[in-house]
Structure 1
Amino acid sequence: MLSPIPLLLMDYAKSIDSHLRVNCSRKCEFKELFQMLSHMLQCLMAYAKMLLDEAVALLEEMEDNRVKPTVVIYAILMDSLCEAGKLEDAAKFFLDLVLKRLEPNVKIYTILMKGFCKKGLMDEANQLLRKMENDGCSPDDLTYNTIIRGYILKNDLTNALYYCDLMVSKGFKGNADTFSLLAGLLSSNNLSDSSKALLRKFLKLPE
């Protein structure tokens, strides 16, 4: 049996479809439609939170029944928690993973790093990168692009370019999102001419 939220979403979808069919030949009542869509979005967000809570509960139930979760399960759950803004919970699961003597892989480290970067916690992201390297887990292109974008969003071009150089020296390349953010900085009034020159050099643009 479906829970109330999915059933409510289905009702909203039917109402919206009916509304569009009725109003297809005349001016649509956008205010009413907007309200319906807003309510539907709220239900979707509530349903997503409910599913995440159920996933956390399921992991705890697995452990209570002495079923050992895999690193893949931790990665999926931590990523979902970070996307939901629950960074502290994701960090707790990271520590839990380590305490259970499961070896964090590059994906696990990068997921948590992305969570730190989204919150603007660049000191924590940098410390995590150092821990990652000290633990013998080599960062990949996604790891470097993640921390570079974090520094860009904090308007810290010095560290962003430092990691750009480090990434290239390791044989990796910036992805489209990273280059787009870097290129966007060229039009910023907050950057000095010397910083823009360094940026142009990295992007291989003419002076």
Structure 2
Amino acid sequence: MVSEGAHPDIVTYKILLDGKVNDAWDLLCSLPLRGVKPNVITHNIMIGGLCKKGSLSKADMLFRKMGEDGIAPDDCTYNILIRAHLRGGELTTSAELIEEMKSCGFSADASTVKMVMDMLSSRELDKSFLNMLS
């Protein structure tokens, strides 16, 4: 691509990150060297990919690194991680993320609320968990 004179921008890299999670970590780390500054959307794609792959510890690490790098997470970031930790049965981590999300002024999105409702109806969660979302 570059050899043919086309210089990828952040949108191009987002597409690549979304499609190739295994190679995406190296690509994400190389973006600054290519003159492209990763942003919250780039990180959300990477975090989502890591969560889908089951690499929650890496997703959590990237989430914390965002803050260190001055990239503020958004509501999407929190909801991706909350759903992943709920799916993984990590209720304490999910609850901590919900509290942190609320303290930042964000709220659960429809997918997260639906997941909590489904887990409540199947008795995987206690009703007190629902109160945290409001």
Is residue 157 from structure 1 mapped to residue 96 from structure 2 by the alignment?
no
Partner of 2:130: 200
Q: Deviations over 1:101-139 (max 9, x none)?
A: 321011000000000111121100000011111110100
1:16-165 aligned within 5 A = 62-65=1-4, 67-79=6-18, 81=19, 86-165=20-99
Partner of 1:13: none
Contact (CA 8 Å) 2:85, 2:93: kept in 1 or not?
yes
Give the length in aligned residue pairs: 134
Contact (CA 8 Å) 2:10, 2:36: kept in 1 or not?
yes
Q: Return the structure number with greater relative CO, CA threshold 8 A, min gap 6.
A: 2
Structure 1 runs of 4+ with >3 Å offset: 187-191
Q: Distance in 1 between matches of 2:67 and 2:133?
A: 27
TM-score normalised by the chain length of structure 2 = 0.89
Q: Distance in 2 between matches of 1:75 and 1:112?
A: 9
Q: CA deviation at 1:189?
A: 4.9
TM-score normalised by the chain length of structure 1 = 0.60
Contact (CA 8 Å) 2:47, 2:62: kept in 1 or not?
yes
| Identity value in percent | 37
Partner of 2:103: 169
Letter in 2 for 1:131: K
Letter in 1 for 2:10: V
Whichever of the two has the greater Rg, that structure is 1
Q: Distance in 1 between matches of 2:66 and 2:128?
A: 28
> SS state of the match for residue 31, structure 2?
helix
Q: Distance in 2 between matches of 1:165 and 1:197?
A: 16
